[in-house]
Structure 1
Amino acid sequence: MRVRALHIYPIKSTQGHDLDSAEVEPWGLAGDRRYLVVDAGGTMLTAREFPKLLSCRAEIAGGALTLTGPHAAPLLVRPAATLSTVTVWRTDVDLRDCGDEAATWLSALIEHPVRLKWLDDPTRRPVNPDHGRPEDRVSLADGYPLLLASTSSLARLNDWIAEDAVEHGEDPPGPLPMRRFRPNVVVDGVAEPFAEDEWKRVRIGALDFRVSRGCSRCVLTTIDHSTYTKGKEPIRTLARHRRWDGKTWFGVLLIPDTTGRVAVGDPVVAL
């Protein structure tokens, strides 16, 4: 097994981009999900509510974040010193505001008043203690530092989607791209689809990770990244083939036990 691709998403719920290599920190890949968008009242927003966020590309260079979108010139973000408390799912986290320019730029993009916040200190947010250790930390990802998915599992899911479409009297759709699932690490060469469900620990290159749990999937996976519209898949098919505990599942969530660098092409070993 090998690393096929690496991805980070600097702002939660915006576009990801590919990396040839990445630094693994205790809370995830360096630069991954350190920013998020909130409404005027300070409530976290995602592409679940505002799919147009997926048209924003955020890139980090030299420690600075630049926003690019279809509606305005690129913007260099300049975080201020102001801290405020934002609830990220069930955890209250102190985040730094990124200023009026970023707020205006993003508000124009999604046509809704918002502000951009930055997690300047990633040690502030613990993982869910039900599936981690007290010392484990996570950035602004949904719950755990990294998401791993395999190409063999995606291929099986796309086969199921095509088969289920025929059963419903529909034309089979084109295969879903991996980016619908927003993984950090994509692995090639997994012998059986969904074999990663059974992994307890995994080594990527020279680094070791715990598999904390599977990843339950939500409506975000149904958004077409080209049209920003919601469809039925993959949730309809996952609900038929991959539903338990009242949720649908694809991919596994990792917690680093060691830090360092990983790269595309690195060997992957289930321990």
Structure 2
Amino acid sequence: MTENHREFGALLRIWRDHTTPAAVGLYAGSRRTTGLRREELAALAGLSVDYIIRLEQGRTVHPSAQVVAALCRALPLSDDDTAVLHRAAGLAAPVGAISHLIPAGVERLLLRTTDAPVAVFSADWWLLSWNSHWAALLGDPAALTGRDRNLIWRDFTGDHSRVVKTEAERDAFRDTLVADLRIAAIEHPTDTNLHALVADLHGRSADFSARWSAARPARHESNRKTIDHPRVGALTLDCDVLNAPGSDVHVVMYSAAPGTEDASRLDLLRVLGVEAFTA
């Protein structure tokens, strides 16, 4: 018996003991314990009582994803507890829809960062929030509506960005966006909004379809970008993409090396303030 098998069995017993019959729609009746009986869990999960016993005793090797999912539904477990039980079984936990909620810590970081343009995107590259310096550099995203708030949609269907790209840089940028979106699609197979976005991109852009077919799933990486600003001129900045621990949101930040002309222009933009986004 391996340590993982013992841990899985222990977790299963703990959650069975802490799940009341009322929580799963069963009549409690007269019983010595408050939790579910093995027979009840077996019936709810569509498994045999003997199989439940072997799972709890760690005598069954590698329960399938279908079995673990059935147990999670039967108990029923929260998303966090579902992930823990899957990991104990040596499986990757299923992931639902992409969250568009910004963790409190990331929101505080956004509010406190005043000397650099910062924005927060979801895993499928919807713009969720930004600071005033971001709006001053790239134009105020408040003017964008619908799918124009999605970075990938806007890039493949009519980009109006101030970011200047050579043909090679545009190709590299689109490749990384599509590769990252494929990661999101793999990790969130039941997200209907995400898959509708991908389907509509296929319908609108042959370039997207070609890149999607060829893309190797990979995370978006940091790089350097040149922004052609109508008031302060061209700025070449570092663009860093950070992922918050425990969340799949992307924190994107622009910065310049201290003492450079680019840093001076970036500081000037903070003083000039927000300018509305224009096509």
Give the helix-richer structure, 1 or 2.
Answer: 2
Name the TM-score class by shorter chain.
under 0.3
Q: Which has the higher contact order (CA 8 A, sep 6+)?
A: 1
Q: Who wins on radius of gyration, i.e. which is larger?
A: 2
TM-score (norm 2): 0.22
TM-score (norm 1): 0.22
